[in-house]
Structure 1
Amino acid sequence: MEVHAIGWIVLAAVVVVLITIDIVGHVRTPHAPTIREAARWTTFYVSLAIVFGLILWAIYGAQYAGEYFAGYITEYSLSVDNLFVFIIIIGAFRVPREFQQKVLLSGIIIALVLRLIFILVGAAVIANFSWVFYLFGAFLLYTAWSQARQGTDAPSEEDETYHENAVVRMIRRVMPVTEGFVGDKVLHRAHGKTFITPLLICIFALGTADLMFAVDSIPAVFGLTKEPYIVFAANAFALLGLRQLYFLIDGLLDKLVYLHYGLAAILGFIGVKLVIHALHENELPFINGGQNWDVIPEPTIIISLAWIVGVLALVVVTSLAKNKKDARLAAAERAIAGASAGTQTHTIPPVDTTHRPATDDNGAGPHATGSAETDPAGDDRTIARTAD
């Protein structure tokens, strides 16, 4: 795939225009977007990504368009998982909801720049060292195993706690920080000194945290295509749609109970695909004598795309089914608990039929047998009937 410089310029221009639209239309006037607004803009970004893929199809053919769509869907699904960490970070900094759009967009811009550098370096390494695919494949298989374990382990308090990374800690040491937010400012001048606000620290926290996610997501896309242009396009469109997706599914991530298993299946598949590709281009002398080993065919992009879409569809269907089942069980348990509580409330206390001896008026002791009856008023008094 020969991408002319104009192709890179056009892609960069599209990204800049979209960022500008976000800044002017959404971020410049702080507000908390409604669900309808978030859904509308999420649809817009997804549609734009699809249009870009169709343009690739028209110019470069179905093969590269398929690689782009597979990479975009993979990157987008991994980004959904990353949103959970974004929610934790934003919650830890207690960013007001009306400022969260600015924080997210600024963090995404930092992430795009860092990912572009990562992609260009990765492409150069892959072009010169084919054995790197072994490392990428092994790493993705390990990541898939980790994702599967997250699906079986209940989230601990430690998992839901944000810990500042080295970059954020360094910023705190170098620059003075205001005690609280100063509107949506990232810098604040007071007492002859320039302070940074928690908003700026949160932005850097998001941007650097995303780089950690890129360590597994970018090799995953490289497992589907070797073209850096396609890898960056898939990353750019996935990240640009992430901001509105955050507000659309905030609070709904816990509904996708099988998401970790789905991501594990996708990453595991791509990891195996990378290892097979590495064997096809093998140059390591201790593997097959340094010769290519192509006994196992490499999955085509159609198979890869079908696997990714099929797994994600299965995740959604099974997660929704489990949520409905859990809701029915919870409703049944509440009904049983309510019925049990009602039965206990209306229980009639048992009648005391124990025979007690009666005494005379002087209290001299028993002189006749009597029976104790419960007062109809319901108190503890007894009525003694004396026998002749």
Structure 2
Amino acid sequence: MNVPTWLWFATIGGLLAIIIADLFLVDHKPHTVTIREATRWVLFYVALAVVFGVGIWFFAGGGYAGEFFAGYITEYSLSVDNLFVFVVIMAAFSVPSEHQHRVLLVGIVIALVMRGIFIAIGAAAIAAFSWVFYLFAVILVVTAVNLARQGTEHEGGEPAPVRLLRKYLPVSDDFHGTKLFTRINGKRLVTPMLMVMLAIGFTDLLFALDSIPAIFGLTQEPYLVFTANAFALMGLRQLFFLLGGLLSRLVYLSYGLSVILAFIGVKLVLEALHENNLPFINGGEPVPVPTVGIELSLSVIIGVLVITTIASLIKARRDPSVIHAPGAPATDSPDQPVPDAKEQAAELDRNNAGN
């Protein structure tokens, strides 16, 4: 796929314009995001990704469009698992509900920049070393096993870089609106707002260690890898508010994601063997093994997600005691504010106590 430099700049510029517009429209007046508002934004970002994918199909062909959609759906589904940890982080920092959108937006922008660096390194490594596919496959399979063992447990906390910063930066006890820095008794302090933004950004970077290899297993085009990640991340923060308590009901999500990662890991191994040039494998000659097409990949990813979601909701309805991941039932009123993370955790504890 030949992507001219001007298209890269135009794409990045367009994404920045959307982020700035989002920041102005939603955050110029801090407020608690309602379900109706979150729904509109989620539909907007999904529609934006669909239009972008159709554009790729029109200008570059259906093959590349299929790779983009497969990558986008995979990244979006893997990002849903991030939301569990985001809820824990929000509760740990006691982030006011009216500031949660800004925290997620800035944190995700930080994550997108760092993912861009990861993608550039990954693309360069793949171009230079064919054995990188085997390394990516190992990462995915190991992550798949860990997710399966994790089950419905989702632990979170401050990433190591944030804990390190706490040792050297004075942090105020309370939030001061949306300020990142404040001055108390003549002393300049960092506010919890900055710390939670960094926590969100660094946490997502840890998730990128498995999501980046996963999407490279679906497409080796850096442009498609970057844009699929960008659209998935941009729609992630609105999904945080929309899903609300539904997160706690996706009890089999980790199992579904583990199946997807394992499938892509096997796909990577088959492709690496098919194009093998390592001298200690088949004398450096390609191994005649079948490969997995993008159509099958897309079908497996969507199928696993659908089955996982349906099975999770059925299980949660029949056995409410399994609902113990961070989150709380979303409000039935579309205009009612979504409960903040601290309220969600308290509500969840009450539900568990009742069960």
Q: TM-score range by the shorter chain?
A: 0.7 to 0.9
1:36 has 2:36 as partner: yes
Alignment of 1:78-227 (within 5 A): 78-151=78-151, 155=153, 160=155, 162=157, 164-227=158-221
User: 2-side partners of 1:34 and 1:321: how far apart?
Assistant: 26
Partner of 1:320: 313
| C-alpha deviation, 1:130, in angstroms | 0.7
TM-aligned CA distance change 1:44 to 1:293, over 3 Å? same
SS at match of 2:173: coil
Between stretches 278-287 and 54-63, larger displacement belongs to: 278-287
Percent identity (aligned): 56
User: 2-side partners of 1:316 and 1:168: how far apart?
Assistant: 33
| C-alpha deviation, 1:283, in angstroms | 2.2
Match of 2:291 among 295, 298, 307: 298
Partner of 1:48: 48
Partner of 2:2: 2
| C-alpha deviation, 1:161, in angstroms | 5.2
User: 2-side partners of 1:253 and 1:202: how far apart?
Assistant: 21
Match of 1:280 among 274, 296, 314: 274
| C-alpha deviation, 1:314, in angstroms | 0.8
Letter in 1 for 2:39: A
User: 2-side partners of 1:209 and 1:291: how far apart?
Assistant: 40
Question: For 1:212-235, what per-residue CA distance to the aligned partner results, in whole angstroms no more than 9, with x for missing partners?
Answer: 000000100000000000000000
TM-aligned CA distance change 1:182 to 1:161, over 3 Å? same
Q: Compute the RMSD of aligned alpha carbons.
A: 1.7
| C-alpha deviation, 1:252, in angstroms | 1.5
What is the aligned length? Answer: 323
Between stretches 252-261 and 270-279, larger displacement belongs to: 252-261
Contact in 1 for aligned 2:275/2:287 (Cα 8 Å): yes
User: 2-side partners of 1:193 and 1:292: how far apart?
Assistant: 65
Letter in 1 for 2:261: L
Question: For 1:61-110, what per-residue CA distance to the aligned partner results, in whole angstroms no more than 9, with x for missing partners?
Answer: 00000000000000000000110011111111111111111110010010
Letter in 2 for 1:263: L
Contact in 1 for aligned 2:85/2:156 (Cα 8 Å): no
Letter in 2 for 1:85: V
Letter in 2 for 1:306: S
Partner of 2:338: none
SS at match of 2:164: helix
Contact in 2 for aligned 1:111/1:211 (Cα 8 Å): yes
Between stretches 67-76 and 280-289, larger displacement belongs to: 280-289
User: 1-side partners of 2:317 and 2:108: how far apart?
Assistant: 35
Letter in 2 for 1:242: L
| C-alpha deviation, 1:9, in angstroms | 1.6
User: 1-side partners of 2:120 and 2:133: how far apart?
Assistant: 16
Partner of 2:70: 70
User: 1-side partners of 2:292 and 2:89: how far apart?
Assistant: 38
Alignment of 1:348-363 (within 5 A): none
Question: For 1:283-314, what per-residue CA distance to the aligned partner results, in whole angstroms no more than 9, with x for missing partners?
Answer: 222211121112x2110000100111111111
SS at match of 1:188: strand
User: 1-side partners of 2:250 and 2:2: how far apart?
Assistant: 40
| C-alpha deviation, 1:29, in angstroms | 1.3
Partner of 1:16: 16
Based on CA coordinates, which of the two structures has the bigger radius of gyration? 1
1:311 has 2:311 as partner: no
Contact in 2 for aligned 1:138/1:275 (Cα 8 Å): no
User: 2-side partners of 1:13 and 1:242: how far apart?
Assistant: 20
Letter in 2 for 1:250: G
TM-aligned CA distance change 1:43 to 1:161, over 3 Å? closer
User: 1-side partners of 2:265 and 2:77: how far apart?
Assistant: 16
Letter in 2 for 1:261: Y
Partner of 2:222: 228
User: 1-side partners of 2:311 and 2:10: how far apart?
Assistant: 40
SS at match of 1:194: strand
| C-alpha deviation, 1:182, in angstroms | 1.1
Contact in 2 for aligned 1:130/1:282 (Cα 8 Å): yes
In terms of fraction of residues, the more helix-rich structure is 2
TM-score normalised by length of structure 2: 0.88
Letter in 2 for 1:22: D
| C-alpha deviation, 1:183, in angstroms | 1.6
Give the unaligned 5+ runs of structure 1: 328-388
User: 2-side partners of 1:256 and 1:49: how far apart?
Assistant: 24
TM-score normalised by length of structure 1: 0.80
Give the unaligned 5+ runs of structure 2: 321-355
User: 1-side partners of 2:314 and 2:244: how far apart?
Assistant: 20
